[in-house]
Amino acid sequence: MHDRKQPRGPVRVTRRTVVRSGLAGAFIGLGVDAQLGFAQTTDRARTFPLRTPEGLKTNLVQIAAGRFKDRDGVTVALTEEAQRALLVPGSAGNGPSFAMPEVEFANGTLEIDIAARINGRGQPDVRGFAGLAFHIADDLSTFEAVYLRMTNGSRNDPPPPAPRNVFAIQYISYPDRYWRKLRQEHPNRYEKAAPVAIDSWHHLRLEIDGGSLRALVDGAEVLTVADLRYPGRKGRIGLWVDDGTEAFFANLSVSST
C-alpha cells in the first residue's frame, strides 16, 4: 500500500480511534534492565540486545521473542485490530505502531539490526515495512520515523522494477507528513533506493543532529533529511512496523550527544 500510483487521502479518524484504544499498552514485567539484557556502556550510550519482549511498551502491535535466520531478537507485528483498520478502503498507514524500550533520545545515533517478512495479513502490495520511530511524544500523537520497504530494495532477486527500486527507504513524520503526501509534494526527497531485501537482516544507523538526519544501511549512506519535523525533541524510540509485515529487531544501540 506504500507505492500505489493513485493517491488516496488518509482516513485519520479511524487511525486516531485505534491509537486511543492502543495507548493503554503497559510495560511487560518489571526489572527492565535485566529483562532486556540492558547494558549501559557510558553515561550517554546504551545497548538493548532485544532478546525478549520484557520491558517494551506497545502501541498497536503485538510482540514476542523470535528467531530468524539463526539470530535471536524480538518479533513485532500489528495487532489484529490495527491490521483490520488498514484493510478498510481509503485507510493510510504510517501510524504509531511500535514497541518502545524504556529510553529517551533527542540527538545522537540510533543503530539496530532489522529483518522483515510479509505475513499475509495485509494489502496485496505490502512491501515489508520496518524501521525506527523517534522523537515520540508522550501521548504518541506525534513522532518521526525512518523505515525500510524491504521488497523494494536492490538486493532482492530479481530486483524490483522502476519506480519501486527507488522507494526502499522512507522518512515520515506523524500525523501529517505521511509517505503519500511527501511523495506527491516532494518527489524523491524523503525516499530513496537502498541495498535491502525481504527475509534478510540489515543494519540501520540513524545519525540525528538537530534538524538533520543521515541514514545508513549496512554502512552505506542512503538518505539525508535536512528538515526534521521535531528537531531536538526528547522522546521515546519505537521499533516500528506497518501493514502486513512481521519485523524482527535485535541489538538496539542508543548514543546521545
% pLDDT > 70, the chain? 83
Q: Are 197 and 217 in contact (CB under 8 A)?
A: no
Is residue 225 a part of any domain in this protein? Answer: yes
> What is the Cα–Cα distance from 102 to 37, expressed in whole angstroms?
12
Closest CA to 95 of 170, 168, 25, 173: 173
**CATH code, domain carrying 80:** 2.60.120.560
Please write the tens of the pLDDT for every residue from 134-164: 999 999 999 999 999 999 999 999 999 999 9
Owner of C-alpha cell 525500510 = 148
Is residue 19 a part of any domain in this protein? Answer: no
Is residue 20 a part of any domain in this protein? Answer: no
CB atoms inside a 10 Å sphere around CB 142? 18
Is residue 18 a part of any domain in this protein? Answer: no
Is residue 182 a part of any domain in this protein? Answer: yes
Q: How does DSSP assign 192-245, residue by residue?
A: E--S--TTS-EEEEEEEETTEEEEEETTEEEEEES--SSTT--EEEEEEE-TTE
Is residue 153 a part of any domain in this protein? Answer: yes
Closest CA to 122 of 210, 12, 4, 1: 1
Closest CA to 59 of 133, 155, 156: 133
Is residue 16 a part of any domain in this protein? Answer: no
Q: Is the pLDDT of residue 167 over 70?
A: yes
Q: Is the pLDDT of residue 14 over 70?
A: no
Is residue 15 a part of any domain in this protein? Answer: no
Closest CA to 107 of 239, 227, 251, 207: 207
What confidence category does residue 90 fall into, taking pLDDT thresholds of 50, 70 and 90?
A: confident
- The whole-number average pLDDT for the span 11-28 is 40
Q: Is the pLDDT of residue 29 over 60?
A: no
Interacting residues of 170 by C-beta distance below 8 A, sequence separation 6+: 2, 131, 146, 147, 148, 149, 179, 182, 190, 191
**Residue 98 forms beta bridges with which residues?**
59, 240
What's residue 187's pLDDT?
97
What is the DSSP-derived secondary structure letter of residue 41?
-
Residue range of the domain that includes 57:
37-256
What's the structural domain count of the chain? 1
What's residue 43's pLDDT?
55
